[in-house]
């Protein structure tokens, strides 16, 4: 595939972004018409994507879906103490959601997939309203939503029982509630944060980032009642979040669904994988096979701790810490998610079609990352807006944690809406600069023509 063909294939995306920048934004009915058209087009494309890939659930998604169906039929969530949901009990929250879907729609894979589409549409809408709330510019919000919706790597896993989408939506709702600036919405955000944590357990990073933001930027320490604000806007939401998690864990434990509740019984494994220099912190079947024959969790933990000590010693002795961190950071934020391959698009389509899809997926992800750099520069140049830190602090903490635990390209999916908010600002700044330059050139042209009119010889020739 040559570059000309590639450009022709992505040119509709480029032209669409230009149209979104050019369309007027001073009429509410125009703004919402544009948004609804975009959401409708996305929903149609996302549904077509679902029907174009195999419905087989793979990897962890297959474990989630198959186990949920087994439980719905009266079976057990796990069979031994070293099974997935025994060692990763904190993932049980997502099973509750899948059980609800199965209760409503039976074991209908398409129903689960279409719910993912509706959740993705909701994520796009939340991305728009959050960007609008922060930057107060419709065009920035439009472009932020657009950059996310054309990222095929973000879209592609909607055919799977993936907890990243629903978790991402709950985290975005949490941030939106806090951005309202009202005491009751901030308190309510504690509950939605707990829901996101239950569904997608990156909760500690999001929780810590939000608490830091609330303590530093939402409390007015110069007022006499600052202690009351600290209590209502920080302690109560945090307490509500943790209480919801604790209560749900007890409910899961007492119901018999998972005797381990929501605990993590195999924390060491994430570090064993994440600090393995030979695999650059990614999942390794060979490494997994080394521990799967252990008979009890105690034996597994003992072997993993020994392995972890060896990995730490290897990194220290060979001064490979920085190399490992840089490789993992690159994989997480600029590496391919391989989402289209993971869901089996290549199995049902020609190599040429698969190549086009991979190109579009890669360019979509790279557009988000590259324009986020421009957006970050604009954040430093324009008047400081502390509200953006509500999004960036959880992102930065998540990125730091991923340096020492297992990493995959698709792990960035739940936080891509945050990046798209910054990317929307970046793309808007690029188009604004180009618009300004064109105006300057046109003004210079007019000035030049006016000068020519003043020259007698030129004026006489024109007559």
Domain contains 187: yes
The reported pLDDT for the residue numbered 287 is 75
- Which residue shows structure tokens 């989630």? 64
3-state secondary structure of 463: coil
Ranking 2-6, 167-171, 240-244, 358-362 by mean pLDDT, the lowest is 2-6
Domain contains 9: no
Q: Are 145 and 420 in contact (CB under 8 A)?
A: yes
The reported pLDDT for the residue numbered 462 is 43
CA angle, residues 188, 134, 397, in degrees to nearest 5:
70
Distance (Å) of CA 172 to CA 49, 81, 418: 24, 35, 8
Q: Does residue 233 surpass a pLDDT of 70?
A: yes
What's the domain count of the chain?
1
**189 exposed, middle or buried (CB, 10 Å; 0-12, 13-18, 19+)?**
buried
Confidence of residue 455 (pLDDT cuts 50, 70, 90): low
Structure tokens at 176: 């939106």
85-106 per-residue burial string, b: 16 or more CB within 10 A, e: under 16? bbbbbbbbbbbbbbbebbeeee
Q: Are 232 and 264 in contact (CB under 8 A)?
A: no
Question: Which domain, by its residues, includes 365?
Answer: 19-462
Domain contains 8: no
Ranking 132-136, 169-173, 174-178, 350-354 by mean pLDDT, the lowest is 350-354
Domain contains 294: yes
| Residues 113-142, mean pLDDT to the nearest whole number | 95
3-state secondary structure of 296: coil
Q: How many helices (H) and strands (E) does the chain have?
A: 23, 0
- DSSP, res 264: B
Between residues 431 and 460, the one the model is more confident about:
431
59: alpha, beta or left? (left if phi > 0; alpha if psi -120 to 50): left
**Cα torsion angle, 51, 55, 58, 61, sign:** positive
Say how far apart CA 71 and CA 64 lie, in whole Å: 11
Confidence of residue 454 (pLDDT cuts 50, 70, 90): low
Domain contains 11: no
**73 exposed, middle or buried (CB, 10 Å; 0-12, 13-18, 19+)?**
exposed
Distance (Å) of CA 10 to CA 7, 74, 151, 409: 5, 49, 12, 23
Confidence of residue 8 (pLDDT cuts 50, 70, 90): low
Please state, for a pLDDT cut of 70, what percent of the chain lies above it.
90
The reported pLDDT for the residue numbered 461 is 40
Domain contains 97: yes
| Residues 8-24, mean pLDDT to the nearest whole number | 78
Domain contains 5: no
Ranking 22-26, 152-156, 415-419 by mean pLDDT, the lowest is 22-26
User: How many other C-beta atoms can be found within 10 angstroms of the C-beta atom of residue 61?
Assistant: 19
Rg of the chain over Cα atoms, rounded to whole angstroms, equals 25
- Which residue shows structure tokens 């600029």? 334
Domain contains 432: yes
Say how far apart CA 153 and CA 146 lie, in whole Å: 14
Beta-bridge partners for 264: 88
Closest CA to 324 of 278, 358, 286: 278
User: How many other C-beta atoms can be found within 10 angstroms of the C-beta atom of residue 5?
Assistant: 10
Q: Are 411 and 332 in contact (CB under 8 A)?
A: yes
| Residues 98-102, mean pLDDT to the nearest whole number | 95
Confidence of residue 447 (pLDDT cuts 50, 70, 90): low
Structure tokens at 443: 């003004």
Say how far apart CA 287 and CA 292 lie, in whole Å: 9
Structure tokens at 328: 């993992």
Confidence of residue 131 (pLDDT cuts 50, 70, 90): very high
Say how far apart CA 226 and CA 363 lie, in whole Å: 48
Question: Of 81-85, 112-116, 344-348, 402-406, where does the model show the most confidence?
Answer: 112-116
Structure tokens at 334: 């600029």
Closest CA to 171 of 221, 219, 210, 114: 210
- DSSP, res 215: I
The reported pLDDT for the residue numbered 241 is 96
pTM exceeding 0.85:
yes
- DSSP, res 418: H
Structure tokens at 369: 């990352």
């Amino acid at each position: 595939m040559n570059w000309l063909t590639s450009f022709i294939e992505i040119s509709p995306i480029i032209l669409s972004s230009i149209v979104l920048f050019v369309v007027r934004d001073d009429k509410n009915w125009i703004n919402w018409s544009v948004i609804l058209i975009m959401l409708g087009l996305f929903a149609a494309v996302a549904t077509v994507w679902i029907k174009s890939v195999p419905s087989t659930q793979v990897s962890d998604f297959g474990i989630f879906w198959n186990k949920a169906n087994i439980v719905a039929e009266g079976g057990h969530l796990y069979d031994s103490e070293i099974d997935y949901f025994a060692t990763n009990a904190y993932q049980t929250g997502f099973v509750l959601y899948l059980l609800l879907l199965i209760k409503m729609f039976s074991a209908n894979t398409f129903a689960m997939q279409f719910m993912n589409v509706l959740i993705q549409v909701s994520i796009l809408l939340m991305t728009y309203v959050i960007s609008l709330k922060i930057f107060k510019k419709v065009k920035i919000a439009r472009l932020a939503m657009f950059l996310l919706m054309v990222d095929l790597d973000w879209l592609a896993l909607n055919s799977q029982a993936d907890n990243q989408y629903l978790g991402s939506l709950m985290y975005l709702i949490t941030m939106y509630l806090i951005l309202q600036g009202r005491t009751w919405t901030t308190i309510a955000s504690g509950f939605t944060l707990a829901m996101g944590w239950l569904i997608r357990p990156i909760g500690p990073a999001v929780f810590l980032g939000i608490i830091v933001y609330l303590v530093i930027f939402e409390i007015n320490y110069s007022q006499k009642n600052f202690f009351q604000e600290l209590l209502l806007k920080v302690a109560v939401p945090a307490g509500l979040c943790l209480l919801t998690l604790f209560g749900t864990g007890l409910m899961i434990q007492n119901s018999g669904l998972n005797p381990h509740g929501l605990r993590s019984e195999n924390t060491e494994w994430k570090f064993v994988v994440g600090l393995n220099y030979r695999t650059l912190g990614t999942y390794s079947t060979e490494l997994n096979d080394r521990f799967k024959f252990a008979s009890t969790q105690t034996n597994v933990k003992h072997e993993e701790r020994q392995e972890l000590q060896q990995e730490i010693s290897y990194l220290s002795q060979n001064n490979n810490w920085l190399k490992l961190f840089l490789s993992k950071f690159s994989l997480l934020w600029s590496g391919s998610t391989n989402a289209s391959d993971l869901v089996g698009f290549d199995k049902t389509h020609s190599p040429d079609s698969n190549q086009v899809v991979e190109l579009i997926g890669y360019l979509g992800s790279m557009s988000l990352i590259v324009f986020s750099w421009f957006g970050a520069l604009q954040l430093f140049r324009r008047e400081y807006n502390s509200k953006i830190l509500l999004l960036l602090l959880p992102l930065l903490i998540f990125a730091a944690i991923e340096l020492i635990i297992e990493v995959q390209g698709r792990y960035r999916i739940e936080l891509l809406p945050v990046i798209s908010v910054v990317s929307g600002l970046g793309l808007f700044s690029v188009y604004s600069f180009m618009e300004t330059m064109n105006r300057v050139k046109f003004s210079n042209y007019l000035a030049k023509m006016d000068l020519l009119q003043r020259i007698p010889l030129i004026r006489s020739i024109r007559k």
